[in-house]
Amino acid sequence: MQPQIILLKEGTEASQGRSQIISNINACQAIVDCVRTTLGPRGMDKLMVEAQGKATISNDGATIMKLLDVVHPAAKTLVDIAKSQDAEVGDGTTSVVLLAGEFLKQMKPFIEEGVHSQIIIRSVRRATHLAIQFINEIAIKPKKDDETELRQLLEKCAATAMSSKLINQQKDFFSKMVVDAVMLLDDLLPLNMIGMKKVPGGALEDTLLVAGVAFKKTFSYAGFEMQPKQYTNPTIALLNIELELKAERDNAEVRLESVEEYQKVVDAEWTILYDKLEKLHLSGAKVVLSKLPIGDVATQYFADRDMFCAGRVPDEDLKRTMKACGGSILTTVADLGDSVLGTCAHFEEKQIGGDRFNIFTGCPQAKTCTIIIRGGAEQFMEETERSLHDAIMIVRRATKNDAVVAGGGAIEMELSKHLRDVSRTIAGKEQMLISAIARALEIIPRQLCDNAGFDSTNILNKLRQKHAQGNRWVGVDILNEDVADNMEKCVWEPSLVKINALSAASEATCLILSVDETIKNPKSGEGPAPQGRPGARRPF
């Protein structure tokens, strides 16, 4: 009789070995099935309802994955790659999840047959490496010095990114706007210099691009309507100061002997406020913005002196105004010199839909723009914002890194063919594994067909034949239930999207295949920890 050794707390669950890998793969498959139908121009959208009843309608892989609230430790990897694809390139988030799921699915029979996961991992890495190399070889690089050609390229990439979204009917309108927006930025193309505002009402086509900062009119007091609403070359003061007479705190206690003393306290408060206001007036500032409230006294004071003011400006907007117009956000008005005040060519308060907007254009310091999204339902505008975000990310990427490939499954079919060709020159198990990866890549055109209601077997056979004949850019033609040269059809995607998707999917695959043990400790609080090392075995 061996003495029993207890290593882990009672109630700890552990599963290990091959069956663990298989069960992880199955869990990932279930996640993939959630997003499968959203791929492509004919993809469906998902309506996600959160605990508080907030509903989100989305087609974006990353958004759906984020809202799914996955608890399975291995399946969480897929959520992570969708998020990282979103952060890195912005588009291709559904594709990356789908690819990872399909890689795993194709590798499952090998695991079941007892091929060691390290061998599989090595082959997956090798296949990915070969595929990425091949993308770089065949990607098309249009001439960058030609302005119109570059613009065309960018517009097409943006249109492809948007063709799978709710707003695909308006993609020509929006692709121009997105390219304009990115062109307005400076060389570094900082994403936070593109503001997005949503105003309910109006048609989608009423969405407008402002070449400057714009934000919604803030809460204002009486006297506001007397202030001018338009300036040319105004000086702008940005504050983090309250310009308001404060109500006493409930628990404050001031002991006074006489009415005169009370009057002094009141006067002191007014003097402090008037002192601040006077300094602002003397500095020559015409527009005063503050993160904190600006009260009725101050509003009236400014109105009497033909100045404009807005209090409770959201932090993000105030910062963007500062970056665009110069100056700094002040916490005191003691020293109001030119160096701390900003300026812009034109300021205006304008009616847009049911809201009034403060608009600053011709900003000297940083280049910035704001997209004011119009539309019906709140959820619709939110999805529009996400779709525009995808497109903006794509245009930013394409401006920096302008190689493109054809979408609609064309590049995946070509990669699949390439890998199959290469696998024939390799001896041993790797041959099988690499051709399995080649098969896995076909999931993208297959799913595009399935989602559009096409006969996927038929179309895939046609695609294989065309690619074998050397028609490199033939992909699914969504409009005609057929195959077509997607390079000519202008379904273009930056090669970076595909490269990133492939490497992220392969990383996730390798990670999941390398985990052969999960130990769940019920008492260790949040979340069970997946264990990758085979060292911590439990001797039962």
448 touches, from ligand ADP, Mg ion, none (C-beta below 5 to 8 Å by class): ligand ADP
Is 148 considered catalytic here? no
Q: Given 45, 56, 60, 368, which residue is catalytic?
A: 60
Minimum CB distance to Mg ion, residue 498 (Å): 12
Number of residues that bind Mg ion (CB under 5 A): 2
The listed partner (ligand ADP, Mg ion, none) that binds 375, CB under 5 to 8 Å by sort, is none
Q: Tokens 């699914």 identify what position?
A: 476
- What's the min distance (Å) between Cβ of 386 and ligand ADP? 11
For the question of residue 402 being annotated catalytic, the response is no
Q: Give the dihedral sign, CA 163/167/173/179.
A: negative
Rounded distance between C-alpha atoms, residue 295 and residue 172, angstroms? 45
DSSP string, 443-486: HHHHHHHHHHT--HHHHHHHHHHHHHTT-TTEEEETTTTEEEET
* Closer to ligand ADP by Cβ: residue 63 or 518: 63
Residues 91-120 that bind Mg ion (CB under 5 A): 91
276-292 per-residue burial string, b: 16 or more CB within 10 A, e: under 16 = bbebbbebebbbbbbbe
Binders of Mg ion among residues 59 to 98 (CB under 5 A) are 91
Pick 486 or 518: Cβ nearer ligand ADP:
486
Provide the pairing of β-strand 529-531 with 517-520.
antiparallel
Give whichever of 93 and 235 is closer to ligand ADP, judged by the CB atom. Answer: 93
Closer Cβ to ligand ADP, 95 or 175, answer by number: 95
Q: Which two tokens stand for residue 348?
A: 């205006």
Q: Where are the beta strands (DSSP E) in 74-147?
A: none
Tell me if residue 275 is catalytic.
no
Q: Which of 91, 317, 390, 516 is catalytic?
A: 390
| Binding site partner of 95, from Mg ion, ligand ADP, none, Cβ cut-off 5-8 A by kind | ligand ADP
Our CB check for ligand ADP shows the closer of 61 and 212 to be 61
CB of 505 to ligand ADP, least distance (A): 11
Report the nearest approach of ligand ADP to the CB of residue 413 (Å).
11
Contact map string, positions 154 to 173, toward Mg ion, x by CB under 5 A: ----------x---------
Residues that bind ligand ADP (CB under 6 A): 38-41, 43, 59, 61, 91-95, 160, 163-164, 407-408, 444, 448, 476, 478, 491, 493
Q: Which of 56, 77, 93, 207 is catalytic?
A: 93
Beta strands 235-239 and 287-290: pairing type? parallel
What number of other Cβ atoms are within 10 A of residue 8's Cβ?
13
**C-alpha closest to that of 121 among 516, 476, 536, 524:** 516
Distance of CA 50 to the CA centre of its chain: 20
- Quote the CA–CA distance of 44 and 36 in Å, as a whole number: 9
The listed partner (ligand ADP, Mg ion, none) that binds 447, CB under 5 to 8 Å by sort, is none
Nearest distance, CB of residue 374 and ligand ADP, angstroms? 23
CA angle 95, 97, 101 (to 5 degrees): 115
* Measured CA distances, 368 to 213, 360, 412, 511, 520 (Å): 7, 10, 37, 41, 50
Active site residue 390: yes
> Do residues 447 and 514 lie in contact, with contact meaning Cβ atoms separated by under 8 Å?
no
| Shortest separation between residue 330's beta carbon and Mg ion, angstroms | 43
Which C-beta is closer to ligand ADP: that of 165 or that of 291?
165
**Could you tell me which of 334, 86, 318 has the C-alpha nearest to residue 310?**
318
Query: Could you say which of ligand ADP, Mg ion, none residue 207 binds, taking C-beta under 5 to 8 angstroms by partner kind?
Result: none
Complex with ligand ADP: residue 393 or 510, whichever CB lies closer: 393
Q: Which does 285 bind (CB under 5 to 8 A by kind): ligand ADP, Mg ion, none?
A: none
Q: Return the half-sphere exposure (C-beta side, CA atoms, 13 A cut-off) of residue 368.
A: 28
Q: Where do contacts with Mg ion occur on this chain (CB under 5 A)?
A: 91, 164
Q: Which residues are catalytic?
A: 60, 93-94, 390
